[in-house]
Amino acid sequence: MITRIALCVALAGCGRVGFDATSDATMDALLPTPVARYLFDDDLSDGAADSIGNRTLQCDGPCPTSVTAIDGMGALFAGTTIMRASGAGLESPQFSLAAWMRPSATDLCLLGKPYGSVVENSWQICLGANRDLVLCTTPDGCDFGDPFAFMLDRWIGVTVTYDGAMVRGWLGGEQSIIQPHPGPVLFDGSELIVAGDIDMGVPAEHFVGAIDDVRIWDVALEPEQVRLLIAP
């Protein structure tokens, strides 16, 4: 079951929406080093390497195929696979999440860190059935974005920050939510999940579409830093 914080904004009519991936060198010099980053530029037949070197995403099902993405290659998921990696080092009281996605369906999940053995998540980003972008934290619960907030089969940049008190989300280059979540966010050592969810111990809500450049930080990026990611 999708459990969620909503990031809601009307997107531009076409083309890539979100990060300016062409300025990676400049951004990397001005942003903190992420604790995990998945570029999906390597051979995906045996998983996806973490360019920071800490944890490799392993396939739970047929591995995704490579696809041309925003900057280099990305991972194309057919809705049959999730990817898992160690959650060690991803249990910070503050965090930021960023990714490119090109969803081809709804009612599925992009990124999460499960909590407990039922359906909760320490944090999670999903897409609702009404094309609403949603995110959830435990114990503070979930918020939902407006319906029809994004288009299918278009690249969309997503950034989420949590500073221990407020969740701030950017979708398609616009700040889309500021929501109180007093926390603290609860963690239990669970794995990182990309391209789906774990419900009752079983993979669920598999992502259909492409994903590129997933980044996770153990700090909340400042708005000025987020703007570096979403510069036109």
pLDDT in tens, 96-131: 999 999 999 999 999 999 999 889 999 999 998 988
Residue identified by tokens 């969810």 is 197
- E strand intervals along the chain: 36-38, 58-60, 65-68, 73-78, 82-85, 95-103, 108-114, 121-127, 133-137, 141-144, 156-162, 166-171, 174-180, 192-194, 197-199, 202-204, 208-217
Model's pTM, two decimal places? 0.88
Paired tokens of 55? 């944890």
The H or E element spanning position 31 is none
Alpha helices in the chain (DSSP H): 24-30, 223-229
Average pLDDT for 214-228: 92
200 with 118: CB under 8 angstroms? yes
Q: What is the pLDDT of residues 154-202, one digit of tens each?
A: 998 888 999 999 988 887 777 777 889 998 999 999 999 999 999 999 9
pLDDT at 216 over 70: yes
Paired tokens of 27? 């951004």
Q: What is the pLDDT of residues 51-94, one digit of tens each?
A: 998 889 999 999 999 999 988 999 999 999 999 999 988 999 99
**In this structure, which CATH number among 2.60.120.200, 3.90.180.10, 3.30.590.10, 3.90.15.10 belongs to the domain 21-229?**
2.60.120.200
Per the model's pLDDT, the better-predicted residue between 9 and 81 turns out to be: 81
The alpha carbon torsion through 68, 71, 77, 81 (nearest 10 deg) reads 140
Quickly state the pLDDT bin for 23 (edges 50, 70, 90). Answer: low
pLDDT at 232 over 80: no
| Domain ranges within the chain, ordered by starting residue | 21-229
The overall average pLDDT reported for the chain is: 85
pLDDT at 5 over 60: no
pLDDT of residue 71: 81
CA nearest 205: which of 137, 143, 112, 122?
112
Taking CA atoms, 7 is separated from 102, 117, 124, in Å, by 16, 26, 12
Paired tokens of 218? 């153990």
Q: What is the pLDDT of residues 57-69, one digit of tens each?
A: 999 999 999 999 9
Q: Which amino acid is at 90?
A: L
